[in-house]
Structure 1
Amino acid sequence: MQITLLGTAAGGGFPQWNCACRNCAGLRAGTLRATPRTQSSIFVQADAGGPGLLVNASPDILTQIQRQPVLWPKSGQRPEALVAGLRDTPIAGVLLCDGQVDHTTGLLMLRERGRPLPLWCTDPVAEDLSQGFPLFGVLGHYCGVQRHAIPLDGRSFAIDRLDGLRIRALALDSKAAPYSPHRDAPVPGDNIGLLFTDTRSQRSAFYAPGLGQISPAVADAAGSAQLVMVDGTFWTDDEMPALGISRKTAREIGHLPQMDAADGTPGMLRWLGTLPAASTRLLLHINNTNPILDEDSPQRATLAAHGVTVGEDGMQFSL
């Protein structure tokens, strides 16, 4: 199994187009040692060089395709060529962790596919994308969508053409999209984490770009994985209110910050420290305000001291 990080930023990317915070302004001016990032997405292949699964379809998907050779079409080299052997794609399907804009808008950029796009999502996300944000209806005028339901009962499932790869979904404590009828009354399946397992190597990767709380099921799945890729949106719970950007805290919008809360409630960093030392622990879905983007910051040094890596676009991992 090979996993490529296509995008590692939260919604808006880094730098964010309308933001002049210390991070965004410093990156533009060249006074901050930091790396630009596109919005959150990964590509999972059962075998390097073969077809794979696009997990979340970022608004930046076209830029990600241009930058990552694993996503380039190879005309005439695969049986799935779409039009006279000239158009094909290594994207065997798309899986959505939630119905948020920054994880779904890229579906519109895949409309020239030429046949229905295989897509895996939960029932609540399918409802959101059929009603509150009706992307499925729009795509029906182009390639269309061949939707597959994701089970939330602990069963693993497979993706066509990705032999040797099994996936298990876990319902997460987070938030549905603002246009979802479940926004203030969450239901299981609004947001999921994913455990990918290579049945040949018996090695696994856990992926949860939106994670508001560590449940026993999440702890067990992450503890069994050799690669753990989780929500790195905010450093502190009050990061956005302190900057005057929002009145809502990290936890109120469904993200577990890296640092413990003022009342001692554990944050992401303390939990990651409980995972096996041999595992690779990555933060992604990083908001443009998070000080860990500054490679010379004390917060970045704290992560390094705890064996936690800040994910970057283009990183690849083989399991």
Structure 2
Amino acid sequence: MLIRILGSAAGGGFPQWNCNCAGCQAARSDKGVNPRTQSSLAVRGSSGDWFLVNASPDVRQQLERLRDGESTSVRFSPIAGVLLSDAEIDHSAGLTILREATEPLQIYGTNAVKQALTEGFSLLRVLENYCGVEWSVIEPGTVVNLGSKEKSSLTVEAFAVTGTPPKYISSISTEENWVVGFTFRDRVSDKVVTYTPALAEFTPEIIKRFEASDCILVDGTFWQDDELTKLGTSTRTALAMGHLPLAGDNGSLARLAQVACPRKIFVHINNTNPILIPNSPERQMVEAVGVEVGNDGLTIEL
């Protein structure tokens, strides 16, 4: 199985266009702090095509990372489908770029995400007038073959995580699964990867899932719960936004240090999080407990 981190930053990217926090200033000053695109992942089994996990606004440049050779046709798609873990703008707005596909987009997601992208942020209605969409429902607890079983060795299981609906769909009353994580399994190698770009709590079920994985890619959005309120850029805490902060006795870093998994990687990292700065005290704390800070282009082979 191959996993490639296409984008490792949270919404807005790094540096964020309208932010002058310490991290963004460092990224602009060429001091060894690398810019990052918005959160996205690509997964491929031992056989079969790449699948995109979340379509960020940076999807055009991200998909260039998946071109492993020259195509013999004028039109070529490096992906066979798109999985959506939620309906947030930074995970779905890239679908507008994919409207240029020559066949209907194969999209996998929950009914709640489909409703949000139909009634709230009407991307699916827009796409129907371009390439079209073939939606495959994937609800927590069900295992789905990605692509045809004959051609692809990859399966995925969605699992529910605590989350809130996007701000743009406050008028939609459904209380279904707004946010999910994904566990991918390769039927050939039997390797397992779990991806949770948004995670508000470590439940016993999620810890068990993490420990049954060969690699986990986990929400690393904020260092502190009051990170944005201290800066004066938001009135909401990390937990209110559905992200467990890294710091503290009950933070995700302390919890991950106790999780038995061969490889643990933080992704979806906000521009204000000091772990983005190499050699910062916070970065050293992360690395000291055996957790990696993911970066754009990182490829994991299992």
Give the alignment's TM-score, normalised by structure 1.
0.90
| Contact 2:264–2:290 (CA under 8 A) maintained in structure 1 | yes
Deviations along 1:238-294, whole A, 9 cap, x unmatched?
11111111111100111000012xxx5x11011111211x51100010000001011
Aligned length: 300
Q: Per the alignment, in what secondary structure is the counterpart of residue 209 of structure 2?
A: helix
Q: Is the 8 A contact 2:49 2:152 kept in 1?
A: no
Task: Decide whether the 8 Å contact of 1:197 with 1:203 is kept in 2.
Answer: yes
Q: Please state if 1:6 is matched with 2:6.
A: yes
SS of the residue 2:168 aligns to: coil
Q: Is residue 226 of structure 2 the alignment partner of residue 242 of structure 1?
A: no
Residue in 1 aligned with 2:59? 61
Give the Cα separation in 2 of the matches to 1:186 and 1:17.
33
Partner of 1:305: 288
- CA distance in 1: counterparts of 2:210 and 2:175, whole angstroms: 22
1:80 corresponds to which residue? Answer: none
Aligned mate of 1:163, from 148, 152, 156: 152
CA pair 40-182 structure 1, distance change in 2 beyond 3 A: farther
SS in 2 for 1:104: helix
For residue 75 of structure 1, report the CA deviation from its aligned partner.
Answer: 2.6
* TM-superposition CA deviations, 1:66-95 (whole Å, max 9, x none): 3x1x2467433xxxxxxxx32121210000
Aligned in 2, Cα 1:13/1:40: closer, same or farther, shift over 3 Å? same
* Cα distance, 1:273–1:257 mapped onto 2, change above 3 Å: same
* 1:267 is the counterpart of 2:266: no
What's 1:52 paired with?
Answer: 50
Q: In the alignment, does 2:21 pair up with 1:25?
A: no
Specify every segment of 5 or more residues in structure 2 that has no aligned partner in the other structure, as ranges.
Answer: none
**What percentage of aligned pairs have identical amino acids?**
40
In structure 1, how many angstroms separate the alpha carbons of the residues matched to 2:224 and 2:67?
35
- Cα deviations by residue, 1:84-123 (Å, 9 ceiling, x for unpaired): x321212100000000000001001011112210100100
Corresponding residue for residue 88 of structure 1: 76
1:229 and 1:55 map into 2 onto residues whose CA distance is 12
Preserved contact between residue 223 and residue 245 of structure 2 (Cα < 8 Å): yes
Instruction: After TM superposition, list the pairs within 5 Å mapping 1:183-198 onto structure 2.
Output: 187-198=175-186
Structure 2 distance, partners of 1:199, 1:221, is: 17
Structure 1 residue 138, shift from structure 2 partner:
0.6
* Contact 1:119 1:145 (C-alpha < 8 Å) held by counterparts: yes
| SS of 2:86 mapped into structure 1 | coil
Asked whether the equivalents of residues 170 and 217 of structure 1 are also in contact (C-alpha less than 8 Å), the reply is no
> What is the alpha-carbon distance in structure 2 between the residues aligned to residue 215 and residue 100 of structure 1?
23
Q: Which moved more, 1:97-106 or 1:168-177?
A: 168-177
Instruction: Check 1:34–1:96 CA distance in 2 against 1; reply closer, same or farther (3 A cut).
Output: same
What SS class does the counterpart of residue 25 from structure 2 fall into? helix
Contact 1:73 1:87 in 2 (8 A): no
SS at match of 1:17: coil
Structure 1 gap ranges (5+): 77-84
Query: TM (normalized to structure 2)?
Result: 0.95
Q: How does 1:58-207 map to 2 (within 5 A)?
A: 58-66=56-64, 68=65, 70-71=66-67, 74-76=70-72, 85-152=73-140, 154-161=141-148, 163-181=152-170, 187-207=175-195
1:293 aligns with 2:276: yes
Runs (4 or more) in structure 1 with deviation over 6 Å come to: none
Q: CA RMSD in A?
A: 1.7
Structure 1 position 215, deviation (Å): 2.0
